[in-house]
Amino acid sequence: MKSSNPFMNSLTKATAESQRSQAMAYQQAGYAPSGAAGNPYATGAPAADPQGYRRSPNYGVPGAASDRPMTVDDVVTKTGITLAVIVVFAAVTLVVGASNPGLAMGLTLVGAIGGFIAVLVSSFGRKYDSPVVTLIYAAFEGLFVGGFSWLLSGMAIGNSNAGAMIFQAILGTVGVFVGMLVVYKTGAIRVTPKFNRIMISALIGVCVLALGNLVFALFSDGAGPLRDGGPIAWIFSLVCIGLAAMSFLSDFDNADQLIRAGAPSKMAWGVALGLAVTLVWLYTEILRILSYLNND
């Protein structure tokens, strides 16, 4: 409704003309006033910034919080770097084992303990997004994987089939990984809270059994019923392979959820660590099955 007060009408018109002139001046100078159309971050000029120049969406936000959102490429790149470090350090142990078996055994033990500690630090020390922790894990785990391959493939005793066994284990690991990625993408198996609870329970059960078998082996002359190559050992290794394969679904879903939530790109290091842990576990179990076959 138009006001009947001539003074108010004149004042309103003058104010509008002043604002229009100021906006045109800003645009000609290469700026846009706060609140202008086309600026999705405009919220009005604060008192400390009367000119209302357009600001970055991360203006005033600490550097850590302004990290760009994570993408699939970030996950692929970080995982590739992590696996490359594992391969390099695994090769170191294999080379050392050819000339100094005692040192190779020591590196394998150090790698196993160091990798386990790195996972604990990442999980309970809130270092999920730390590239340092992930790469330290990769280095230690590489030492362990190299020594484990050196022992179980028979390379330590000059088995001519050692290289073929290692290659078959790598091929099997890659095949399971790709297969589970297809399963996840097609939605053949949905990752739900119930699925994750079942997986966690099963993993805890496997860890308890493996720890009990280790304690038994330390106080006996054998490797324990779960690792002696007998029927129970076969069943246990097959169960572990199945759980490792299903764990990929949780890893993929975790990465997917972080990407959808717009998590910082550095979180991809945590995803890379989770995938590396699962890949190493799957590889060692496949190599163990192949060693049982080779011994038969």
pLDDT digits (tens, 9 = 90+) for 29-52: 444 443 333 333 334 444 444 444
What's the mean per-residue pLDDT of the chain?
Answer: 81
Residues 248, 207: contact at Cβ < 8 Å? no
Say what the pLDDT of residue 41 is. 33
Q: How confident is the model at residue 270 (pLDDT cuts 50, 70, 90)?
A: very high
Q: How confident is the model at residue 126 (pLDDT cuts 50, 70, 90)?
A: confident
pLDDT at 75 over 50: yes
pLDDT at 272 over 80: yes
List of residues 6+ apart from 35 with CB closer than 8 A: 42, 43, 44, 45, 52
Please report whether residue 228 resides in a domain. Answer: yes
**Number of domains present in the structure of the chain:** 1
Say what the pLDDT of residue 218 is. 84
94-98, 134-138, 177-181, 291-295: which has the minimum mean pLDDT?
A: 291-295
Between residues 15 and 111, the one the model is more confident about: 111
Please report whether residue 209 resides in a domain. Answer: yes
List of residues 6+ apart from 82 with CB closer than 8 A: 134, 135, 137, 138, 272, 273, 275, 276
- pLDDT tens profile 196-240: 999 999 999 999 999 999 898 888 877 888 888 889 999 999 999
Q: How confident is the model at residue 5 (pLDDT cuts 50, 70, 90)?
A: very low
Q: Calculate mean pLDDT across residues 150-176.
A: 86
Q: Work out the end-to-end distance of the chain between its first and last CA atoms, rounded to an integer number of angstroms.
A: 96
Task: Name the residue range of residue 251's domain.
Answer: 71-295
Tokens of 211: 């720890």
Cα gap 281→72, rounded to integer Å = 23
Say what the pLDDT of residue 129 is. 85
Residues 176, 240: contact at Cβ < 8 Å? no
Could you give phi then psi for residue 187, rounded to 5 degrees? Answer: 75, 20
Cα gap 222→224, rounded to integer Å = 6
Say what the pLDDT of residue 225 is. 87
Please report whether residue 18 resides in a domain. Answer: no
Q: Calculate mean pLDDT across residues 121-131.
A: 87
Please report whether residue 27 resides in a domain. Answer: no
Look up tokens 């391969």; give the residue: 87
Tokens of 224: 């324990």
Say what the pLDDT of residue 26 is. 38
Please report whether residue 272 resides in a domain. Answer: yes
Q: How confident is the model at residue 296 (pLDDT cuts 50, 70, 90)?
A: low
Taking alpha carbons only, the member of 59, 77, 207 closest to residue 131 is: 77
Please report whether residue 53 resides in a domain. Answer: no
On the 0-12 / 13-18 / 19+ scale of CB atoms within 10 A, 39 is middle
Taking alpha carbons only, the member of 236, 248, 252, 251 closest to residue 285 is: 236
Please report whether residue 30 resides in a domain. Answer: no
pLDDT at 25 over 80: no
pLDDT at 122 over 80: yes
On the 0-12 / 13-18 / 19+ scale of CB atoms within 10 A, 150 is buried
For the beta carbon of residue 142, count every other beta carbon within 10 angstroms: 27
Please report whether residue 28 resides in a domain. Answer: no
Taking alpha carbons only, the member of 226, 244, 236 closest to residue 283 is: 244
- Global pTM value: 0.75
Look up tokens 């770097």; give the residue: 81
The residue type of 38 is G
